[in-house]
Structure formats: structure tokens, C-alpha cells
């Protein structure tokens, strides 16, 4: 955990025992456990989200929720349970994604006569209930009740909730049986209005990812085969992780009138005619936290962008359990008060004065692994001299492999604190963008080139941008199979993509658009 | 919906068709449906919480959450599902309250060959999972992992979550199979520290109920028979509804070392010895919203205390769909901007400019039924003259039975708006406190007097304060049975109760404390 000089070559002693380059998947698990983000719960596929991880989710919720409300969307709450018949009605829908679901069949436990408990056979439900994998169907049913006339449109609701999709292979934050998310559902009078809302949500997610999570993303349309079942068009934001894989970090769907027809969302238009509403849905989840970890984490743990850090500045007094502690704590408290009066990234600065018992160096490394943006270490001598010792989490090592503490007067530190936090936010985004851009390869024109590219032993191959002819139906299926053999998927076509050029590597036809192809989570 | 003069006696035409005095239970349902708070979901015992109802819950969450965090409690998230074995381990616990639970037995659906879906027999879980009725057991298991030494104490966590208790008879907000709540769970080194936390949470709830919900409550200790199963002491806040019944609106439990023993929450103390932690738990739920309705609602619908109103001031432009609308809307927008710059009750004023299509009077009555604290109606003539027409929801009728709109210059209204909101908050609290205090009867000394009192045909009998000897065990059971025969329960002993006097009406022994006895929800 400390820097050490080996002979003449300074060698950094990182806080984690596993390096990203060695084993990215194990590194990811270690960041989560050492950063006290989450842990296994003892319930298959479900995690306990610990205070630091949940604090990050609360920051995400707070900022996203304000943006959702600003768009005129109302929050509601719909039931956890969905009657089985709702799914039977939508068998197509179910075929697409949702057969692996938690099924409630009984409503009572009784003693089994052997000291244990069993589901009471007398309390079997007439109709099983499904724990919601999404609230699409119940919200559709509610919209059908709520929408009567054009005056009721647009109807825009959102829900923050837990959902369950039974997963065989789980990974914390990325794929868990239970996860937390928001799902927006809107109904509109016509296609234009619905499409505008679909793209508004997409842009909200893009901007949020870039400016709040400091995570560069490509916002674009998914290919036909990756559409949400029943959707007319599906859009996503795609982020590149440090292992070069793509992570879909949010989706927005234009659903046409198909869902309105299934749910019966009809309205009387201004001419008195009955018409079907056009609907949309859009969502992001705790998966975003997995994206933040794999975008910003380093070999010392997580680095949390200041905008979503539960605490942005940690003040660590080096307590000695003697009579000097009182003056030291008073000095730290003065600094804390001065800092919470500042604004950074449009909000009051969030500061923690960590007075818990324990060694200061242990506490320092715990905060490094959690990724707090700035750590202030303050000893008795600092307090006497009006100084602080500052560690920026994004500039943690000096060239000589020592930790990069910078001594500053407290006045200088306080005066610059907000700007420093904003600089860390910018710097994390710039680093991630640079890495992303450096790892997108263009100019491949044949499938053989693509195969060769991804066959390279380089562990960080990144994405390939291809021009293609946008085949559909059976022709698209063939493309999907060819890519699948290479463990590749089509991510999306960027909203701001350059015009297509050349011929399609799959069909040989003239290309009509550009797509990103990558390995993915 | 409009006032009307019948002969010489002005008669108010209330917005609801059911009066509180006629049928309180039906009135309650009508407030919820006409106020667009919530509705039946189609799933037994589960409700859809609509934007106005959910907006009130979000206000409750926001303010309560800040108080919980200020107390040093960290938010976490624990899994929705709890393995059956966790309950078998705690059979005593289960006997107390938790046999009616939703049981998940399968993790997949398959087609039944007849166009429907059924739980896949191949996907039966080895161990059924219970949908959490509370997270007590999983949080206990986590605490056992997290607590090692005295340095880890106190450990204080909170969770905002949905929980499920299968209820046979449900009533919206008051008793639903699924409800939303927060559950705080804390572990401490000794009894004193745990009891201090138990009472801190109780006081937090009391203050919140009084000053945020404007709902007067009695904070006190529940009798032995009403303790949470396994608790050493249970405290509650009890509010009087307008039908005189008591509503338990929040609880705080000191659990001693029993739960720590069951879960294995042990720590090494400063002397190096292993010791059991002392734990607490405390919670409030969406039930509070039912309390707000039954405390503040009147025959025109809900009256929402400004502190928890999603919108505090509604601006209703009287649009005529002509060329005058533009100037009218501009005028309304200026007023909105001036208002959102004000602070009331410590936060920026929340204002909605309601531009939706529809008749202004219909919209007015919709907002009256929802209980928005202040409604501004503004017509073209008002705009031209710099005026507004103001309706305070707590002063809605004039003596002549006309709606009590008051014409004011916009400057005067804006200057006084924050103070007006604060006055409404105070006024609702004062009305409820006066009614509560007028409906507590003291001085009854025999069980016969109690029986006679509650036998009265008066529909609003309120509560009775009795002096009693605090019997325990079999003697207490007898008291509970005697009261049950009268449909009565013991609510609590107030923290600030006067000293006991006289003899116990149940046992004839000298009284040792005062209790409240009431019918209850």
C-alpha cells in the first residue's frame, strides 16, 4: 500500500493486488469489494449495495430525477407484482426477453412439523404473480384508464423501482437478478411527438453520461436485431470500458402504436375520432455504476467523478489520542465549514470530516480505493502552521512513485477547492474520451479484416467502425451469426455519424450507414 | 360543485359527494380517488400511486431522508428476496407477525400448450424465497459480517424500499399488501447508546409528524402486548384521525441483545472481550399519507400541508383560446418566476403554472380536491389590472357559502406568499391539535365508564386517558381481552405524561402510569 523504491527504478505499490491488465474481471470484483461498494447477499444473484455504492446511486437518482421532472414527466409507483395473465396476453413480448422471472405461487408459510417452514398448500394463489421484470404491461393498463381524449396527451410517467430478471450468470451492478432502475413511459397523439420524446430521453442520457458520469458515450440507433421486442426503433448510449468492450448504459424506445393496441391506449382526437396513442419507454439502471467503475477505475481502486461522489472531499485528521487532538479537530472543522459554503458543479461542496478511530494511513487508502476525489491529510504540525496536505485521486502518484501529496496553505486550498473538483471531473472525462477515441478503428472493409483485428492477442482491442448496407431479415440474421462467431455484436449507428462510404463487408452492396462493432457486456 | 343559495340559508355545495360525518370510510376512498392520489391496480391489495400521491411521498422521503442522514445513518440497499431458511431460524419472530408472505417458488415461465403460460416445473427453486416483509433478518446477517470491533460501532443503516405483507383486508395507504417505507437498523456497544438512538428516532418522527405533516401526535411507549415481537421496548407516535380513531404512524424499537444473538452480531470490546451488540430498528411508511388524509381532509377533498405539497401554489390562467391568451400567459409566467425566487418553510416555493387545456373552473375544483394550498385564478382583466384572485385551501368558503376568492394586487400577493404558506401550515396544525385535544377524555375511573363512553352513538368519541397499574403477563392479557370486547386497544404511554393518580380500573391496584385507550386503524 505504500510506495517503495526498488534499486534505481521507482516502482509504484498500488492499492489493489490485481491489475486491470492482468485480469480485468477479477480487478472489477476487487474494486467493488475493496471500495466497499457492494457485496454478495447470500441470495442468489442479488447484491447488498453498501453505503458508498448506494450513495453513488443516490447521486445518480437525484440528478437524473431533476432532469426527468424538468421534461414534464411525473413520477408514479406501480405494483411489484404482475398477474401472469398480463404476460400471456403479450406472448410475443415474453418470447423476446422475459421468461426467466420470479414467480410467486403462495401467500402463506406454515410449519412443516419438523421445525421448519413450507409454503402453505392451502394458500396457493389462483393465479400466480410475477415479480415485475419491467412495468411495461401494468403501466400500459393504467394509461388505457387514464387516457380518454387528446387533452390527456402527452401522458408522461416515470418510476424508480426494483425489478427482477432471473439471471443464470450474474456480475455485480452489470447483471444481477434484482436491480434498481428508472423506467419512463409516455403516450403521445402522434408519431412525431413520440419520436421527439424518444430522442429527448436519449439526449438526456447522453448528456448525463458525459457530463455527470464523465463517461463518453455514443448515442445512436440499435440495429433491427437488437431492438426491444415490439419496438419500432431502439436507441442506446454505448460506452467503451477499459478492456475495450462496449457497455450499453441506457436505452430509449419508440414503440409505435403496437403497445397501445395491446394495452388499449386509445383517445378521442380533436375531430372526435378514436385513435391509438404512440408510446415510448426509456430506462437506465444500477448498471451505470458498473460503467463508472470500468471507465474510471485504476489499479488503486475506483475514481468517482466529483458530480456523483457522495463525499467529494475527505478531511482526515491524523489523530494521536493525546491533548493535541482537540486543536487539530477544531482546525479541521473550520476547514470543513469553509468548504461546505462553496459551490462546485452547481451544488454545495460535499465534505466528510472522518473522525472515526483508526490509523490515518489505513483510512487514507480506504478512501483512495473508494475513489473520493480529494483527500486532505492534516496533522498537528499542519494545523499549527495553517497548512493542509492534499491528494488528488486522479493524480495520486509522483514520478518517483511516491504518493503525490501537495502541501498548501488552507486559504489557497479552500479558494481553489471548487475549481479543483471541476478540474477532476473534466480530467476524468478527457482521459476516458481520449482512450475511447484511440481505440476505435476505422477503415476495415472486409469481414476477414475484422476477424483478424479481433483475433489479435491485444487485450484491449476496442471497437471497429464499419460501413454497411443495413441488411434486414434473413440477410441481417446471417450478419449477426457471422459476428457472433467472432464474439462480436453491432452496437449502434451514431446519431452524428459521418455519411457512409464504400461497400458493405457483409453483402457487397453499397454501404448506407456506419455501425460500431464490438465485444460487449 | 358551486355554491348556491337556497332560500335565505346559504348552503355550501361541497366538492365531494360524501361527507365525513356521513360515512368516514367512504369519504376516505373518495378523497383518494377524486384527489387522484392512488387507485386499485388490478393486483390484489396493491395500489398504483398516482403523481399527486407519489409527489407527497417524495416530499416525505426527501425531508425525512435529510434528517436520517443528519443523524449519521447511512443508506444501503438489501435484497428483495429472503431465503426461507432465514425465517425458519427465527420461528418466534415469524409467529409474531409474518406468516402471511409472498412466496417465490419458481424462476421461469413456459407455455402451457394452450396459449397460456405456467410456472415451469423444471424451474422450481430448491429453497423458496420470501418477498421481504421487513429486512430485519438480512440486515442482521450483514451487520454480523460488518461488525468486528468496538471501532465499527455504532453501525447505523437505513433502507428505503418496498415490502410485502399479504393482507386479507386492504385499504389504500393504510394497509396494502405492498407498501413503501424506510427501515432504520442500528447496532451499538451498549444499552445506553442503543436506547438513545431508539428515542432519537422516536423524536425525529414526532417532530416530523408535527412540523412537516402538521399532524399532532403522542410519542410514547407501547404496552408490553403491543411490542414488536422480540423487542425489549417499542415506542410509537399515535395520531388522532377525524373519526376519533388512533393511527400508529411510526415506530421505534429497542431490541436489546436478542436480535444480535440470533444474527451473530458480536464485537471485540476495548478490553478484548467478545460482546453482543445492542440493536434498534425504526420505520415509517406510506401509511403516513393515510394519516395526512384523515387528519387534514375536509368535505372538499384533501388539504395538503404546504411542507409536503408537491406544488404549493397553482396558477390557473383562464384561457379563452383567443388572441388575449398570450398576454395572460406572459403575466402568469412573470408571477411564477417571482414566486419561485421566494423561500417558504426553508425551501424555494413550489409553483405550477397549469396551462393544460380544459375549463378553468373544472381545473380549479380538481386542485381543490387535491388540496393544493393556494390556487391563483387569473383572467385577462386581472392581467390587465395587475391583479390576482387568491383561494386559500384552508379558507375555502365565505360565510355566504360562496368560494372565498380574495382579489389582490400581484405585488401584494407575491410579497406575502411565503408567509401565507407558512400560515396555512401553522393553521392546519392548530386545527388538528385543537380537535385532538378536545377529543381526549380524562377522569374515567372504571371499566364500566369506559364501556359507556365508547357505547355512545357519537361517531367521534376520540380517546380516553386512563391511569393504570401496568399489569403484565396473564393480568395484562385479561385487560387486553376486556378492551378487545369494546373494540379498544391501548395506544401508548406518553413520554411527557403527567404522574399517575388513583387506582387502576382493571386491577384495582394503585395506578403507576397513564395510557391512551382508543379504537384504531
Does residue A91 fall inside a structural domain? no
Q: Does A29 touch chain B (CB under 8 A)?
A: no
Does residue A166 fall inside a structural domain? yes
Q: What is the CATH number of the domain that holds A489?
A: 3.30.110.30
**CA B32/CA A173 separation, integer angstroms:** 38
Domain identity same for B188 and B67: yes
Q: What is the CATH number of the domain that holds A408?
A: 3.40.50.800
Question: Residues B85, B127: contact at Cβ < 8 Å?
Answer: yes
By C-alpha distance, which of B299, B370, B451, B337 is closest to B55? B370
CB interface of A with B, residues 169-188, below 8 Å = 178, 180
Nearest residue on chain A to B352, judged by CA atoms? Answer: A72
Nearest to B54 among A76, A80, A180 (CB): A76
Nearest to A43 among B47, B82, B107 (CB): B82
The verdict on a CB contact (< 8 Å) between A119 and B142 is no
Does residue B232 fall inside a structural domain? yes
Residue B98: the pLDDT is 47
Domain identity same for B409 and B290: no
Q: How many Å lie between the alpha carbon of A161 and the closest alpha carbon of chain B?
A: 9
Q: Does B356 touch chain A (CB under 8 A)?
A: yes
- The average confidence (pLDDT) of chain A is 94
Domain identity same for B159 and B251: yes
Q: Is the pLDDT of residue B90 over 70?
A: no
Q: What is the total count of domains within chain B?
A: 3
Q: What is the DSSP letter of B497?
A: P
Would you mind telling me the total number of residues written for chain B in this entry? 521
The verdict on a CB contact (< 8 Å) between A109 and B99 is yes
Question: Residues B57, B63: contact at Cβ < 8 Å?
Answer: no
Nearest to B117 among A78, A80, A84 (CB): A84
Beta bridge partners of A405: none
**CA B233/CA B44 separation, integer angstroms:** 34
Domain identity same for A324 and A205: no
The verdict on a CB contact (< 8 Å) between A80 and B357 is no
The verdict on a CB contact (< 8 Å) between B48 and A142 is yes
Alpha-carbon Rg of chain B, whole angstroms?
Answer: 26
Q: Is residue A489 within a helix (H) or strand (E), and if so which, with residue range?
A: strand A489-490
Note the maximum CA span of chain B.
Answer: 86
Q: Is the pLDDT of residue B7 over 80?
A: no
Does residue B242 fall inside a structural domain? yes
**CA A29/CA B253 separation, integer angstroms:** 37
The verdict on a CB contact (< 8 Å) between A41 and B357 is no
Q: What is the DSSP letter of A253?
A: E
Residue A371: the pLDDT is 98
Q: Which of A410, A436, A462 is the last residue of a domain?
A: A436
Residue A22 CB partners (closer than 8 Å, separation 6+): none
Domain identity same for B311 and B356: yes
**CA B521/CA B517 separation, integer angstroms:** 13
Q: pLDDT tens digits for A341-373?
A: 999 999 999 999 999 988 889 999 999 999 999
**CA A281/CA A252 separation, integer angstroms:** 6
Alpha-carbon Rg of chain A, whole angstroms?
Answer: 26
Which residues of chain B does A110 touch, with a Cβ-Cβ cutoff of 8 Å? 99
The verdict on a CB contact (< 8 Å) between A94 and B88 is no
Mutating which of A36, A37, A41, A56 best tests the B interface, going by the most B Cβ atoms within 10 A? A41
> In Å, what is the CA distance from A119 to each residue of A103, A240, B127?
13, 46, 10
Name the packing angle between helices A325-340 and A410-438 (round to 10°): 60
Residue B42: the pLDDT is 87
**H helices present in A135-254, as ranges:** 136-146, 191-211
User: For A496-505, which contacts have Cβ atoms below 8 Å and span 24 or more sequence positions?
Assistant: A497/A220, A500/A467, A500/A468, A501/A467, A502/A445, A502/A467, A503/A445, A503/A467, A503/A469, A504/A467, A504/A468, A504/A469, A504/A471, A505/A444, A505/A445, A505/A446, A505/A447, A505/A449, A505/A450, A505/A466, A505/A467, A505/A468
Q: Give the strand pairing for B124-131 and B81-83.
A: antiparallel
Domain identity same for B430 and B462: no
Q: pLDDT tens digits for B38-68?
A: 999 988 889 999 999 999 999 999 999 999 9
Q: What is the CATH number of the domain that holds B148?
A: 3.30.930.10
- The strand ranges marked E within B397-488 are 406-409, 440-441, 463-468
The verdict on a CB contact (< 8 Å) between B107 and A103 is yes
Q: pLDDT tens digits for B416-432?
A: 999 999 999 999 999 99
Question: Residues B421, B454: contact at Cβ < 8 Å?
Answer: no
Q: Give the strand pairing for A489-490 and B4-6.
A: unpaired
**CA A428/CA A294 separation, integer angstroms:** 12
Q: Give the strand pairing for B313-317 and B374-378.
A: parallel
Which residues of chain A does B85 touch, with a Cβ-Cβ cutoff of 8 Å? 116
Nearest residue on chain A to B155, judged by CA atoms? Answer: A51
Mutating which of B41, B79, B90 best tests the A interface, going by the most A Cβ atoms within 10 A? B79
Q: What is the sign, positive or negative, of the torsion defined by CA atoms of A225, A231, A233, A238?
A: negative
Does residue A257 fall inside a structural domain? yes
Q: Does A75 touch chain B (CB under 8 A)?
A: yes
Note the maximum CA span of chain A.
Answer: 86
Domain identity same for A407 and A277: no
Q: Does A88 touch chain B (CB under 8 A)?
A: yes
By C-alpha distance, which of A468, A467, A465 is closest to A442? A465
Beta bridge partners of A191: none
Question: Residues A279, A260: contact at Cβ < 8 Å?
Answer: yes
**CA B262/CA B200 separation, integer angstroms:** 25
Domain identity same for A365 and A349: yes
Percent of chain B at pLDDT > 90 equals 88
Q: Which of B296, B331, B356 is the last residue of a domain?
A: B296
Q: Does B103 touch chain A (CB under 8 A)?
A: yes
**CA A179/CA A164 separation, integer angstroms:** 7
Q: How many Å lie between the alpha carbon of A519 and the closest alpha carbon of chain B?
A: 28
Nearest residue on chain A to B82, judged by CA atoms? Answer: A43
Nearest residue on chain B to A39, judged by CA atoms? Answer: B142
Q: Is the pLDDT of residue B5 over 70?
A: no
Residue B18 CB partners (closer than 8 Å, separation 6+): B26, B27, B30
Per-10-residue mean pLDDT, chain A, length 521: 55 96 96 98 92 98 98 98 84 55 94 84 95 96 97 97 92 96 98 98 98 98 95 98 97 98 96 97 98 98 98 96 93 98 97 92 97 97 97 96 96 98 98 97 95 77 95 96 96 96 96 97 95
Q: What is the DSSP letter of B481?
A: H
Helix (H, G, I), strand (E, B) or coil at A400: coil
Nearest to B104 among A84, A102, A115 (CB): A102
Does residue A454 fall inside a structural domain? yes
Enter the ipTM: 0.95
Domain identity same for A287 and A425: no
- Reported as a pLDDT band with limits 50, 70 and 90, residue B3 is very low
Q: Does A263 touch chain B (CB under 8 A)?
A: no
Question: Residues A506, A446: contact at Cβ < 8 Å?
Answer: no
Q: Is residue B27 within a helix (H) or strand (E), and if so which, with residue range?
A: helix B24-34
Residue B458: the pLDDT is 58
Q: pLDDT tens digits for B376-396?
A: 999 999 999 999 999 999 999
Q: How many Å lie between the alpha carbon of A367 and the closest alpha carbon of chain B?
A: 16
Does residue A40 fall inside a structural domain? yes
Please state the three-class secondary structure of A439-478 as a single string. CEECCCCCHHHHHHHHHCCCCCCCEEEEEECCCCHHHHHH
> In Å, what is the CA distance from A199 to each residue of A288, A290, A426, A466?
19, 24, 26, 24
**CA A132/CA B80 separation, integer angstroms:** 12
**CA B175/CA B177 separation, integer angstroms:** 7
Domain identity same for B487 and B351: no
Helix (H, G, I), strand (E, B) or coil at A233: strand
Nearest to A79 among B51, B115, B178 (CB): B178
Which residues of chain B does A135 touch, with a Cβ-Cβ cutoff of 8 Å? none
Name the packing angle between helices B325-340 and B410-438 (round to 10°): 60
**CA A221/CA A210 separation, integer angstroms:** 18
Residue A455: the pLDDT is 86
- Reported as a pLDDT band with limits 50, 70 and 90, residue B94 is very low
The verdict on a CB contact (< 8 Å) between A103 and B102 is no
**CA B247/CA B296 separation, integer angstroms:** 14
> In Å, what is the CA distance from B36 to each residue of B197, B206, B297?
38, 28, 14
Q: Does B166 touch chain A (CB under 8 A)?
A: yes
Does residue B145 fall inside a structural domain? yes
Q: How many Å lie between the alpha carbon of B489 and the closest alpha carbon of chain A?
A: 27
Question: Residues B130, B87: contact at Cβ < 8 Å?
Answer: yes
The verdict on a CB contact (< 8 Å) between B178 and A116 is no
Q: Domain span at residue B159?
A: 24-83+135-296
Q: Which of B383, B404, B436 is the last residue of a domain?
A: B436
The alpha carbon torsion through A244, A250, A256, A262 (nearest 10 deg) reads 110
By C-alpha distance, which of B342, B56, B357 is closest to B215? B56
Q: Which residue has the higher pLDDT, B490 or B457?
A: B490
Residue B1: the pLDDT is 41
Q: How many Å lie between the alpha carbon of A51 and the closest alpha carbon of chain B?
A: 5
The predicted model scores a pTM of: 0.96
Question: Residues A516, A488: contact at Cβ < 8 Å?
Answer: no
**CA A434/CA A519 separation, integer angstroms:** 19
**How many pairs of residues across A and B have Cβ atoms under 8 Å apart?**
196
Domain identity same for A316 and A274: no
CB interface of A with B, residues 114-153, below 8 Å = 115-119, 128-131, 138, 141-142, 145, 151
The verdict on a CB contact (< 8 Å) between A58 and B51 is no
- Reported as a pLDDT band with limits 50, 70 and 90, residue B2 is very low
Domain identity same for B159 and B239: yes
Amino acid at each position: 500500500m505504500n510506495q517503495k523504491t526498488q534499486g534505481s527504478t521507482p516502482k509504484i505499490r498500488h492499492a489493489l493486488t490485481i491489475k486491470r491488465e492482468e485480469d480485468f474481471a477479477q480487478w472489477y470484483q476487487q474494486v467493488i469489494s475493496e471500495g466497499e461498494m457492494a457485496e454478495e447477499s447470500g441470495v442468489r444473484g442479488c447484491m447488498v449495495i453498501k453505503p458508498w455504492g448506494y450513495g453513488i446511486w443516490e447521486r445518480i437518482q437525484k440528478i437524473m430525477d431533476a432532469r426527468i421532472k424538468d421534461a414534464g414527466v411525473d413520477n408514479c409507483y406501480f405494483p411489484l407484482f404482475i398477474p401472469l395473465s398480463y404476460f400471456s396476453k403479450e406472448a410475443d413480448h415474453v418470447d423476446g426477453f422475459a421468461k426467466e422471472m420470479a414467480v410467486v405461487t403462495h401467500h402463506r408459510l406454515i410449519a412443516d412439523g419438523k421445525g421448519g417452514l413450507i409454503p402453505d398448500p392451502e394458500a396457493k394463489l389462483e393465479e400466480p404473480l410475477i415479480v415485475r421484470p419491467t412495468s411495461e404491461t401494468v403501466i400500459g393498463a393504467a394509461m388505457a384508464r387514464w387516457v380518454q381524449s387528446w387533452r390527456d396527451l402527452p401522458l408522461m410517467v416515470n418510476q424508480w423501482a426494483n425489478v427482477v430478471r432471473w439471471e443464470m450468470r450474474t456480475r455485480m451492478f452489470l447483471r444481477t437478478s434484482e436491480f434498481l432502475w428508472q423506467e419512463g413511459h409516455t403516450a403521445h397523439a402522434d408519431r412525431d411527438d413520440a419520436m421527439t420524446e424518444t430522442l429527448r430521453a436519449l439526449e438526456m442520457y447522453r448528456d448525463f453520461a458525459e457530463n455527470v458520469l464523465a463517461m463518453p458515450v455514443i448515442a445512436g440507433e440499435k440495429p433491427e436485431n437488437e431492438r426491444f421486442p415490439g419496438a419500432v426503433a431502439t436507441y442506446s448510449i454505448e460506452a467503451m470500458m477499459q478492456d475495450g468492450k462496449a457497455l450499453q448504459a441506457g436505452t430509449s424506445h419508440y414503440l409505435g402504436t403496437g403497445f397501445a393496441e395491446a394495452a388499449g391506449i386509445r383517445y378521442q382526437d380533436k375531430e372526435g375520432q378514436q385513435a391509438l396513442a404512440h408510446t415510448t419507454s426509456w430506462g437506465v439502471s444500477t448498471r451505470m455504476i458498473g460503467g463508472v467503475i470500468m471507465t474510471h477505475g485504476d489499479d488503486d481502486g475506483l475514481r468517482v467523478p466529483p458530480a456523483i461522489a457522495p463525499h467529494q472531499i475527505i478531511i482526515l485528521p491524523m489523530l494521536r489520542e493525546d491533548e493535541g487532538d482537540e486543536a487539530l479537530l477544531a482546525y479541521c472543522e473550520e476547514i470543513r465549514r469553509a468548504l461546505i459554503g462553496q459551490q462546485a458543479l452547481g451544488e454545495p461542496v460535499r465534505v466528510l470530516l472522518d473522525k472515526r478511530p483508526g490509523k490515518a494511513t489505513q483510512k487514507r487508502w480506504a478512501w483512495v480505493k473508494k475513489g473520493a476525489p480529494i483527500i486532505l491529510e492534516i496533522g498537528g504540525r499542519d494545523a499549527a502552521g495553517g497548512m493542509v496536505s492534499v491528494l488528488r485521486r486522479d493524480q495520486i502518484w509522483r514520478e518517483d512513485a511516491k504518493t503525490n501529496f501537495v502541501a498548501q496553505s488552507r486559504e489557497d486550498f479552500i479558494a481553489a477547492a471548487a475549481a479543483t473538483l471541476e478540474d477532476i471531473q473534466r480530467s476524468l472525462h478527457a482521459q476516458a474520451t481520449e482512450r475511447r477515441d484511440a481505440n476505435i478503428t476505422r477503415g476495415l472493409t472486409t469481414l476477414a479484416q475484422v476477424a483478424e483485428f479481433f483475433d489479435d492477442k491485444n487485450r484491449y482491442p476496442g471497437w471497429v467502425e464499419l460501413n454497411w448496407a443495413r441488411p434486414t431479415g434473413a440477410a441481417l440474421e446471417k450478419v449477426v451469426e457471422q459476428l457472433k462467431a467472432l464474439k462480436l455484436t453491432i452496437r449502434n449507428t451514431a446519431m452524428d455519424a459521418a455519411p457512409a462510404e464504400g461497400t458493405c463487408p457483409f453483402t457487397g452492396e453499397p454501404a448506407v450507414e456506419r455501425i460500431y462493432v464490438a465485444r460487449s457486456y
